[in-house]
């Protein structure tokens, strides 16, 4: 599956679909807010939104780091970044920079104080390499907050399979959700906090570089 091409086709409707997920109980705005809050960013900090899409988290990140801070939006889909660029222009942000890159290859200009990924890191083709690369982009003590999908522990398989089927337009398949994203994160970062939502189908992992 070519995830980049798929998300290029979905870029125009991406913001609307994210809002519609709320009707199903998937509270993406809430998860983003929690992810940003767990980073404990100070004014002047440097932070990245990994797999930033159209920039839905930029407002919270920009407010957290202030005018003296820097926000990097990293995504490998040019169509998503085009939408993010328009959002930046509308809001007049001068400290938000966009980078078109694969997370396994990307290098920040300077070590990061924090980073978030909301339903993005788990889509990385080379998951182990992407997580390792992101972890090394953090300064010692810097935090990464990841919100992503997982197979719930106590939900019947037919219900899980139905949820996966309705998410296929966004590249979600069972083998993708079953990838050991959170185990890999724990190998590369010291676990600070974990929360689960949506009957255990969504996890927030917060890790810190040792």
pLDDT tens for the 210 residues of the chain, in order: 687 887 888 888 888 878 878 877 889 999 999 999 999 999 999 999 999 999 999 999 999 999 999 999 999 999 999 999 999 999 999 999 999 999 999 999 999 999 999 999 999 999 999 999 999 999 999 999 999 999 998 888 887 777 777 677 667 788 878 899 999 999 999 999 999 999 999 999 999 999
Distance, CA of 125 to CA of 130 (rounded, Å)? 8
H or E segment to which residue 117 belongs: strand 112-118
The count of other CB atoms within 10 Å of the CB of residue 163 is: 19
H or E segment to which residue 145 belongs: strand 138-149
First-residue to last-residue Cα distance in the chain:
34
**Biggest distance spanned by C-alpha atoms of the chain:** 50
**Which letter, b or e, does each residue of 78-99 get, where b requires 16 or more Cβ atoms within 10 Å of its Cβ?**
ebbbebbeebbeeeebebbebb
The domain ranges of the chain are 3-208
Q: What is the DSSP letter of 134?
A: H
- The two structure tokens encoding residue 190: 């010291």
pTM, 2 dp: 0.93
Q: Report whether CATH 3.40.50.150 matches the domain 3-208.
A: yes
Distance, CA of 183 to CA of 165 (rounded, Å)? 24
- The two structure tokens encoding residue 135: 């972890």
Closest CA to 103 of 48, 152, 61: 48
């Amino acid at each position: 599956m070519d995830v980049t091409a798929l998300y290029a086709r979905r870029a125009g409707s991406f913001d609307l679909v994210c809002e519609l997920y709320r009707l199903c109980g998937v509270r993406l705005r809430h998860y983003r807010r929690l992810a940003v809050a767990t980073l404990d960013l100070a004014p002047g900090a440097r932070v990245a939104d990994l797999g930033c899409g159209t920039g839905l988290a930029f407002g919270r990140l920009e407010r957290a780091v202030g005018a003296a801070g820097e926000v990097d939006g990293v995504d490998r889909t040019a169509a998503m970044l085009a939408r993010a660029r328009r959002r930046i222009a509308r809001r007049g942000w001068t400290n938000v920079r966009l980078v078109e890159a694969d997370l396994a290859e990307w290098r920040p200009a300077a070590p990061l104080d924090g980073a978030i990924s909301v339903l993005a890191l788990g889509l990385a083709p080379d998951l182990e390499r992407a997580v390792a690369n992101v972890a090394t982009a953090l300064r010692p003590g810097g935090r990464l907050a990841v919100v992503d999908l997982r197979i719930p522990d106590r939900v019947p398989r037919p219900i899980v399979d139905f949820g996966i089927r309705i998410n296929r337009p966004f590249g979600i398949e069972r083998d993708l959700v079953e990838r050991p994203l959170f185990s890999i994160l724990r190998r590369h970062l010291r676990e600070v906090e974990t929360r689960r939502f949506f009957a255990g189908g969504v996890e927030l992992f917060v890790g810190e570089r040792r």
